[in-house]
Amino acid sequence: MFIQVLCTVTLGAPGDAQRLDSLVGPSSKRFMLHYSFPPFCTNEVGKRTGLNRREVGHGTLAEKALLAVLPPEDDFPYAVRINSEVMASDGSTSMATVCGGSMALMDSGIPVREHVAGLSMGLVSDVDPSTGEIKDYRLLTDILGLEDHLGDMDFKFAGTRNGVTAIQLDIKPAGIPLDIVCESLDPALKGRLQILEHMEREISAPRIQDNIYSPRLVTSKYSNDALRRLIGPVGALKRKIEDETGARISVSDGTLTIIAKNQSVMEKVQEKVDFIIGREIEIGGVYKGIVVSVKEYGAFVEFNGGQQGLLHISELSHDPVSRVSDVVSVGQQLSLMCIGQDVRGNINLSLKATLPRPKSKTDISVDEPVAPTSQEVNVWAAIEDVSNELENQGATVGPETNDSTLKSATPAVLIRSAAECDEEEKSDALNLKGDNGSQSASKSEKKTRILSSLSESGFSSRSAKKSKRSKDAILDLISDDESEQKHTPEVGLHSQIGSDKAPMSANKLKLGMRVTAKVHQIRALGLVLDLGGGIRGMYRFEPGMKRDFEVGDELRVKCSSFSTKGIPVLSLVKEE
C-alpha cells in the first residue's frame, strides 16, 4: 500500500473568505485547506461523524506550509480553497497533502512563488531501561505507516528549495536529545529536494490563465452613495444582476468586487454596473447611453449612471443631417464619445467620432496632365465650389507647364486667368458697338489674341505639330460659334438640337455659346447662375456696375472661359 491524496482548488470572491470568531487576530482568512481522512483509506469501514482532532491538525499544518508561497492579496484578491481527500494511507498524509496542494495551486493558474514539498523523519532507538538513555538509534526518511506506529518520532518538514515553511514534531519518549534532532535536518533537506525535482518535472510554473474561459475578478472603488444605488432596496438590484449574468458581486467599505466565470460574463456585468453607477467621465472616452429626447438641434442621451449629455445635430454623422429624427430615435441605445464639457458642466457627446471617417474624393489638379479622349465630358463642381471660386478670383491658376507635359497631353479646354477674361469681356463689348466691318476686324483680332496666348502658354516650336492641331481646333470652334449666331436661333435654358428639345448638358456647352440663365445665388463678388440641366456657372461683378439683381432673374450670358475646377465663367451679353 502507498499514499494517494486527491487535491482540488476552488476560487471564490473575497466575500467567500472564512469568517473567524476570535477576540484577537484577523476576522477572516482567504486561504483555506480542508483535510479529509475517510475510513476507507486504511481499508476500514466506518461512518463519518464530522471532523476529528487529527483532521483539523493535519489540515492546519498543510495550510501553514502553503500559505508562505501565496501571492499578496492586493495582487491576487481571490478566496482560495483546497480540498484534500486521502484515497490511501501508508505514511504521512499531511506531507502528501502539502505536495499535492502545491501542484494543484500551480495547475489552477495561481501565481505561487515556487513549489512546496514535505516529508516526515522517523526515529528507531534502543533505550537503556535502567537509565532511560538512548544507547543506539537510526534515523528514517519518509517513514511508512508501520514505522510511524512502532517508531519513537514523527518529525514533519515542509518547505521550498530556499527554506522551511512548516515543521511539526511528535515524540513518544519523554525526550529526545538535541543532537539527534539537529542530525535529522540534513537528510530531511536531501529528501525534500529529491521530491521537488519530481514535482517540477510535472509542472514547474503556474499555468497561464486563459482570458476567455478562466475566472475573472475585478475590484473597484466607489462612494457609498453609488454602492447604495447598485444594491437597490433590500439588495433587489444586486440580486437581479447576479441572476441575469451568473456573476457574484460583493460590497464592503467602499469597494466593489465582481467575480465572473469568464471574460464575456465580466464584460456584461461591468456594462450594467457602469450604467447604474457610472464612472468618471473622461474626454475621449466611449460610453453607452439611451436617447431620452429628440429636439430640432440635437438629442439628449442618458448615460453613465443617470447623467445626461447633448448630442448635437452636427455630431450625428460625417454627412450633413437635415433632421435629427432621421438618425436617432427615443429609446435607441448608442455608443458615444465624450468630446468636452462647457463652462456650465454640460457634457457634449459625439456619434460621428465613433464612426469610421469616409474616404475623401480627391480632385484632379490642373497641373496634372490629362490624356485627351475622343468624347470629353466635363464634370461641374457643386454650388459650394462655385461660391469658393468667386471668393478666390484673384488667385493664380498654378505653375507653368513645361514642354514635356505638353508633349504628353494636349489641353482640351483653354484656361485663362481672370485678367485675360476681363480683357476679353471688354473687347467683346467694344465689338458689339461697332459695325459689320469692325466686327470682322474684331474677329481677326480675337484669332490673333488666341494664337498669341497659345504661344505664351507654352506651345513652342518643338511641339509644332500638336500646337498647330490645337490652334486649328480652337479657330474652328470660333468659326462654328459665329456661324451658329448667324443661322441658328438663340439658345435658352433648353438648347434646340435638330427637332428634339434636350436639357443643357456638360458636353454641349462650348466657349462663346450664348445661353439664358437664371440667378441662383447672389454673392459679394458675383452671381451663381443656373444654366439648366444641373449646371452652375459664375459671373463676376465688374467695377462700378449696378448690382440690382434678384434670385430668379433671367440673364443673357455667354461662356467666356472655364475655371481651374471646370466651372463655366460667364459674361453678360448686352442686348442690341
List the single range of 42-46, 263-267, 372-376, 569-573 with lowest mean pLDDT: 372-376
Cell numbers for 306: 443617470
Range(s) of the chain covered by CATH 3.30.230.70: 4-202
| pLDDT (0 to 100) of residue 287 | 83
- Residue 314 DSSP class: G
Examine the pLDDT at 77 and tell me if it is beyond 60: yes
Range(s) of the chain covered by CATH 2.40.50.140: 286-354, 382-576
| pLDDT (0 to 100) of residue 58 | 92
Cell numbers for 526: 458675383
Q: How far, in Å, CA of 63 to CA of 30, rounded? A: 11
List the single range of 99-108, 458-467, 552-561 with lowest mean pLDDT: 458-467
Mean pLDDT of 403-424: 48
Examine the pLDDT at 49 and tell me if it is beyond 50: yes
Examine the pLDDT at 108 and tell me if it is beyond 70: yes
Q: Which amino acid is at 556?
A: R
Pairing of strands 28-29, 347-350: unpaired
Q: Domain 4-202 belongs to what topology? A: Ribosomal Protein S5; domain 2 (3.30.230)
Cell numbers for 211: 482570458
Examine the pLDDT at 230 and tell me if it is beyond 80: yes
Q: How far, in Å, CA of 106 to CA of 119, rounded? A: 20
The top-level CATH class assigned to 286-354 is: mainly beta
Task: pLDDT band for 575, please (50, 70, 90 cuts).
Answer: low
Range(s) of the chain covered by CATH 3.30.1370.10: 216-276
| Residues paired with 453 in a beta bridge | none
Cell numbers for 175: 525526550
CATH entry, 216-276, from 3.30.1370.10, 3.40.50.300, 3.40.50.2300, 1.10.10.10: 3.30.1370.10
Examine the pLDDT at 76 and tell me if it is beyond 50: yes
Examine the pLDDT at 492 and tell me if it is beyond 80: no
Q: Domain 382-576 belongs to what topology? A: OB fold (Dihydrolipoamide Acetyltransferase, E2P) (2.40.50)
| pLDDT (0 to 100) of residue 424 | 61
**Under 8 Å between Cβ of 528 and 382:** no
Per residue, what are the HEC states of 174-197? CCCCHHHHHHCHHHHHHHHHHHHH
Q: How far, in Å, CA of 520 to CA of 506, rounded? A: 18
Torsion, CA 145, CA 150, CA 151, CA 157, rounded to 10? 20
Examine the pLDDT at 161 and tell me if it is beyond 90: yes
Mean pLDDT of 249-278: 84
Which residue, among 473, 465, 421, 466, has the nearest Cα to 447 in the 3D structure? 473
Mean pLDDT for all residues in the chain: 76
Q: How far, in Å, CA of 409 to CA of 407, rounded? A: 6
pTM: 0.49
Residue, of 192 and 347, whose pLDDT is higher: 192
